């Protein structure tokens, strides 16, 4: 083996390091950095894609203040995210607790409960969901069977339509369940044994061992799913037929943004809306992180 001077070696390391990460680095510049800069610029312009962008300062943001649909979409999105994400996590946690035992059938149950998460993002499911909750859909047929006769269209009623979307999200709790289950299985058995010796009852064990040990996992999932919740698009688009109807009750933020930018070619306003979304997600993530100290338990790191 040839001996290299340290300087030459570090130069070679730089060279091969950047060579290896070059696909990502080039993509990062071309498909993230440049678009982000353009987006920032467009958000201060009026731009219909055919002409040139015309700088109009803070006009787009001022326009939002008086834009009823903007406020409506914010309302819908906050409601959707803050109802569906906690519900899904609670369900996932509850079922994971139930499955955290040694029965052989668990593997099969686990797989079955995961199937909705597996297919839930597809258009086929969104289209089916729409049909399921129509006036002549399966839900009303099933309700009739148990004696509740109704011809309400859950999709067409402004007060229930958003709940069909929330249900679609909660229905897909399987992936979080698997993550929680993996977390539960990593809790050292010795902790429970020690607690038993000290005479702790199951409830004590749950609140003093299980919950603190699992909170980092819950925390990570909460942040990621809130972000996903704020940017939900496909399901709302398909279930509402692209309109956000009835009465804009399913007009989620990403759908409104899409309509502005690609239906009305209001690219400047669309970009401004996107930056408000970034701001919201940033603030929400910040709040979750800031408050996490009081409720997330991180194991004291052993000296590594």
Partner 1 sequence: MLNRKTKYLLGQTTFHIVVILLGFLMLYPILWMVSNSFKTNAEIFGSSSLIPKSLSLENYIRGWKFNNTITFTTFFKNSFYYTILSTFGAVLASSLVAYGFARVPFRGRSFWYACMFLTMMIPYQVVMVPQFIIFHKIGWINSFKPLIVPQFAGLPFFIFLMVQFIRQIPYELDDSAKIDGCNRFMIFTKILFPLIKPAVITSTIFSFYWRWDDFLGPLLFLNKPKLFTVSLALRMFSDPQTSTDWSAIFAMGTLSLLPVLIIFLIFQKYIVQGLATTGLKG
Near partner 1 in 9-28, by CB under 8 A:
10, 13-21, 23-28
Nearer to partner 1, 28 or 194 (CB): 28
Question: From CA 82, how far away is CA 162, in angstroms rounded?
Answer: 12
Residue pair 44/57 in contact (Cβ under 8 Å)? The answer is yes
Question: From CA 243, how far away is CA 304, in angstroms rounded?
Answer: 55
Span of 33-41, 74-82, 198-206, 289-297 interacting with partner 1 by CB under 8 A = 33-41
Kindly report whether the peptide bond that precedes residue 246 is cis, defined as omega within 30 degrees of 0: yes
Question: From CA 290, how far away is CA 267, in angstroms rounded?
Answer: 34
Tally Cβ neighbours within 10 Å of residue 202.
11
Torsion of the alpha carbons at 4, 7, 10 and 14, rounded to the nearest 10: -120
Span of 62-70, 113-121, 203-211, 289-297 interacting with partner 1 by CB under 8 A = 113-121
Q: Is 247 in the site for partner 1 (CB under 8 A)?
A: no
Q: How far apart are the first and last CA of the chain?
A: 33
What does the per-residue mask of binding to partner 1 show for 250-269, with x meaning CB under 8 A? ----x--xx--xx----x--
Question: From CA 42, how far away is CA 268, in angstroms rounded?
Answer: 5
Instruction: For the CB of residue 188, give the shortest distance to partner 1 in the complex, in Å.
Output: 15
Among 54, 278, 283, 287, which residue sits at the site for partner 1 (rule: CB under 8 A)? 278
Instruction: For the CB of residue 168, give the shortest distance to partner 1 in the complex, in Å.
Output: 9
Residues in 121-150 that interact with partner 1 by CB under 8 A = 121-125, 127-132, 136-142, 145
Instruction: For the CB of residue 110, give the shortest distance to partner 1 in the complex, in Å.
Output: 8
Please report which residue ranges of 133-266 form alpha helices under DSSP H: 138-145, 161-171, 174-185, 189-197, 202-205, 211-230, 234-239, 253-258
Among 150, 159, 186, 291, which residue sits at the site for partner 1 (rule: CB under 8 A)? 186
Q: Is 72 in the site for partner 1 (CB under 8 A)?
A: no
Q: Which residues contact 125 (CB under 8 A, 6 or more apart)?
A: 119, 168
Q: Is 276 exposed, middle or buried (0-12, 13-18, 19+ CB in 10 A)?
A: middle
Among 54, 58, 118, 283, which residue sits at the site for partner 1 (rule: CB under 8 A)? 118
Nearer to partner 1, 15 or 54 (CB): 15
Q: Is 1 in the site for partner 1 (CB under 8 A)?
A: yes
Q: Is 229 in the site for partner 1 (CB under 8 A)?
A: no
Among 69, 83, 277, 288, which residue sits at the site for partner 1 (rule: CB under 8 A)? 277
Residues in 145-164 that interact with partner 1 by CB under 8 A = 145
Q: Is 297 in the site for partner 1 (CB under 8 A)?
A: no
Among 105, 148, 203, 300, which residue sits at the site for partner 1 (rule: CB under 8 A)? 105
Q: Is 234 in the site for partner 1 (CB under 8 A)?
A: yes
Handedness of CA 219, 221, 224, 228 (dihedral sign): negative
Nearer to partner 1, 11 or 194 (CB): 11
Instruction: For the CB of residue 303, give the shortest distance to partner 1 in the complex, in Å.
Output: 19
Among 86, 116, 212, 246, which residue sits at the site for partner 1 (rule: CB under 8 A)? 116
SS3 call for 63: helix
């Amino acid at each position: 083996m040839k001996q290299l001077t340290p300087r030459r070696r570090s130069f070679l390391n730089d060279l091969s390091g950047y060579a290896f990460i070059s696909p990502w680095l080039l993509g990062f510049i071309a498909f993230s950095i440049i678009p982000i800069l353009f987006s920032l610029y467009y958000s201060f312009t009026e731009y219909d894609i055919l002409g040139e962008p015309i700088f109009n300062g803070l006009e787009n943001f001022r326009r939002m203040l008086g834009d009823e649909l903007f406020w409506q979409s914010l309302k819908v999105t906050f409601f959707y995210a803050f109802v569906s994400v906690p519900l899904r996590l609670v369900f996932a946690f509850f079922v994971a607790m139930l499955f955290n035992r040694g029965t052989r059938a668990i593997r099969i149950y686990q797989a079955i409960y995961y199937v909705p998460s597996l297919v839930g993002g597809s258009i086929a499911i969104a289209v089916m969901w729409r049909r399921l909750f129509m006036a002549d859909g399966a839900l009303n047929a099933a309700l009739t069977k148990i004696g509740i006769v109704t011809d309400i269209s859950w999709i067409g009623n402004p007060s229930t339509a958003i709940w069909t979307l929330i249900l679609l999200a909660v229905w897909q709790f399987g992936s979080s369940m698997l993550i929680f289950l993996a977390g539960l299985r990593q809790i050292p058995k010795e902790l429970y044994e020690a607690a038993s010796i000290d005479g702790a009852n199951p409830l004590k064990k749950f609140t003093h061992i299980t919950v603190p040990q699992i909170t980092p996992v819950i925390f990570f999932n909460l942040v990621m799913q809130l972000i996903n919740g704020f940017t939900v698009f496909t399901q709302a688009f398909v279930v509402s037929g692209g309109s956000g109807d009835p009465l804009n009750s399913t007009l989620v933020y990403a759908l409104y943004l899409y309509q502005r930018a690609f239906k009305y070619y209001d690219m400047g306003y669309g970009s401004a809306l996107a930056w408000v979304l970034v701001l919201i997600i940033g603030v929400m993530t910040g709040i979750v992180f800031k408050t996490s100290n009081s409720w997330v338990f991180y194991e004291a790191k052993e000296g590594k």
